[in-house]
Structure 1
Amino acid sequence: MEVNQPNKAERKPVRLIAAVCKDMGIGKDGKLPWNLPSEFQYFLNTVSRVSRPGRKNVMIWGKLCWYSKPEDMLPLANSLHVVLSTTLSAIPDNAHFLCRDFESAIRTVSQPPLADQVETIWIVGGTRVYEDALKHPWCDLVYLTHIMAEFDCDVFFPEFDRELFKVQERFPDVPSEIQEDNGIKYKCQVFKKLIGDLV
C-alpha cells in the first residue's frame, strides 16, 4: 500500500525520435552517416515544439550521443537536456542534468518542481537509451524517419514490436509524402503504441 509519496511522479509522454537507413542504422563513428539538413530541421522542430509558452521538453541523451551532436545545435528553444552516464562526475556543458540511468532521469524530470513545466520527454539515442525507453510504460510514440538508402553504420535502432506500435497514415506536423534532400529520399513516420497496452 502506497502511503504519502511526497514526490509522486507526474506521468509525461515518453517519445523516441530517430532517423534510420535501410538496415535500421543510425550512426557511424559517432556521427550521422548522411547529410540531410531538411530532415535534421524536422527533428529540431519536433523536439522543441510545445503547446504554450513557458513549457519545456526534456531530451534524454546517452553520453556518446551527447558528445556526437552537431556543435551548433544548442541552445535549442524550449528544451532541457539530460545526459546519462555512469562515468561522468560533472554535468556536461550546455546540459542541465546528469543521471546514471534511464529511470533516474525519468524520475528527475517528472517530479516537482520540474514536473509543472515539462511537457514531453524526448529520447534521442543511442541504442541502449532507446531500448530502455521502448520498455517504459509511459512510451506512447516512436518518430522514425526512414531514409531510403543504404549507409555503412555501426550503431542501430533497436527492433520493436510493429504489432504493438502501429504506423499512422497521417499525424499532426509530420509530412505524409516522401521527402528528398541532397538526392536522398526519406519518409517521416510515427508509430503509435496501442492504447490497450498503455498502463
Structure 2
Amino acid sequence: MSGDIVEVTERGAQKKPIRLMAAACRNMGIGMNGHLPWDLPSEFRFFLNTITSVCKPGKKNLIIWGRTSWFSCPENVFPLPNSINVVLSTRLRSVPEHAHYLCEDFDGMIHLASLPPLSSLVETIWILGGAQVYKQALEHPWCDHIYLTNIMADFDCDVFFPNFDGNIFKKQDRFPGVSDEIQEENGIKFQFQVFKKES
C-alpha cells in the first residue's frame, strides 16, 4: 500500500462507521501550539489501543488525521497495527512518512473509504482531529460514536472540540471495554466517556 494522493472523482456508497476520538479539558480545549497540553501516558495508551482494535482478523481501521494532528503525534508510535493512515491537508503536496494516503478534504477521505480496495478492507473510520475535521465528521451520517476523555482540569488551549447535541449523541453510563472510573495520573484526574448517536 504505497502512499497515494486521492482526488474525488465520483461518489462511493459503502457505509463505514465513523467514530471520533479526542480528549478535552474543562473548556473543551484539545490542544495548544500543535501539541497536547497534558501528559497522560495511560490515556494515550487507551487512545492507541482503541483506534487499532479490530473485530475481524485481516480487517484494518482507517485513521484520519488533520495535518497538525499528524505532525503532533510522536513518531515512535508508528507503524500502528491494523491501521491505514490518511492525512487531510490542502497544503501538503506529498504523502508524509508513515502515512498511506493524502486527501485534500473530508469528502476525499469518504470517497477513498467507499471504494475498492479499501471498501472491503476497512472496518472502522477513526477521526483524530483537528477541530474542523471533528466538525465535519459530526455532521456526517455515518458518524455513530464519540470517544471523548474528560480531562478534569484547566489548561490553556488554542484548539477546541466542537459543540455537539447531547440529545443526538447520548452519553453512555456503561460502554463495553471502556472504564467509567475516574482515574488520576501526574496529578490530573480524567474519565473516559462514550457518546452514542441515537437512531
Q: TM-score range by the shorter chain?
A: over 0.9
CA distance in 1, matches of 2:91, 2:24: 28
Unaligned stretches of 5+ in structure 1? 1-5
Query: SS state of the match for residue 123, structure 2?
Result: strand
CA RMSD of aligned residues (A): 1.2
Structure 1 residue 63 and structure 2 residue 67: aligned?
A: yes
Q: CA deviation at 1:124?
A: 0.1
Q: What's the TM-score once normalised by structure 1's chain length?
A: 0.93
CA distance in 1, matches of 2:193, 2:71: 26
For 1:3, the equivalent position in structure 2 comes to: none
Contact 1:110 1:118 in 2 (8 A): no
For residue 134 of structure 2, the aligned residue among 130, 136, 150 is 130
Structure 1 residue 156 and structure 2 residue 160: aligned?
A: yes
CA distance in 2, matches of 1:163, 1:172: 21
For 1:147, the equivalent position in structure 2 comes to: 151
Q: CA deviation at 1:110?
A: 2.1
Question: How does 1:5-44 map onto structure 2 within 5 Å?
Answer: 8-44=12-48
Which amino acid in structure 2 is aligned with residue 38 of structure 1?
Answer: S
- Moved segments of 4+, more than 2 Å: 6-9
Q: CA deviation at 1:8?
A: 3.9
For 1:99, the equivalent position in structure 2 comes to: 103
Q: What's the TM-score once normalised by structure 2's chain length?
A: 0.93
CA distance in 2, matches of 1:134, 1:36: 26
Contact 2:19 2:146 in 1 (8 A): yes
Which amino acid in structure 1 is aligned with residue 75 of structure 2?
Answer: E
For 1:49, the equivalent position in structure 2 comes to: 53
Deviation sequence 1:78-109 (CA, Å, 0-9, x none): 01111011121111110000101001101102
Q: CA deviation at 1:7?
A: 7.5
CA distance in 2, matches of 1:71, 1:104: 25
Deviation sequence 1:17-67 (CA, Å, 0-9, x none): 100000000001111100000000000010000002211001111111111
For 1:80, the equivalent position in structure 2 comes to: 84
For 2:172, the equivalent position in structure 1 comes to: 168
For 2:118, the equivalent position in structure 1 comes to: 114
CA distance in 1, matches of 2:127, 2:44: 15
- Greater shift in the superposed pair: 19-28 or 179-188: 179-188
Query: SS state of the match for residue 83, structure 1?
Result: strand
Contact 1:59 1:79 in 2 (8 A): yes
Go from structure 1 to structure 2 and tell me whether the alpha carbon gap of 1:89 and 1:22 turns closer, same or farther (over 3 Å shift).
same
CA distance in 1, matches of 2:103, 2:142: 19
For 1:191, the equivalent position in structure 2 comes to: 195
Query: SS state of the match for residue 170, structure 1?
Result: coil
Which amino acid in structure 1 is aligned with residue 134 of structure 2?
Answer: Y
Matched residues, percent identical?
A: 59
Contact 1:55 1:119 in 2 (8 A): yes
